[in-house]
Homo-oligomer: A and B are copies of this chain.
Amino acid sequence: MKICRVDRTLVSTNRIKELGHRPLLVVKEKPDGDGQVAVDAVGCIPGDWVICVGSSAAREAAGSKDFPSDLTIVGIIDQWPPT
């Protein structure tokens, strides 16, 4: 799983219905890196450091085997970077 920081929320009005109402967030591995879109399964806010799961595990982690996600936030890291 990747360690990412939540950057912002993402709004997509025109999207496939399978995405439902799960929040979509832009997350970044590095502050100046490219953003990726992750499905939020835990309830994050911008600034949180989170664990993002990819591959086929992202689907079920987002709620069901049919959920169209390849990146899902599965946990908020208590303290990061480590001291």
A-to-B contact residues, CB < 8 Å: 1-3, 8, 10-16, 18-19, 24, 26, 29, 34-38, 41-43, 51, 53-61, 66-72, 74-79, 82
Contact = CB atoms under 8 A, between A and B. Distances in A.
Given A51-B37, A57-B56, A68-B53, A78 B11 contact: yes
Copies in the complex: 5
A36 B3 contact: yes
Contacts of A57: 56, 58-59, 67-70
Contacts of A13: 76, 78
A41 B14 CA distance: 10
Contacts of A2: 36-37
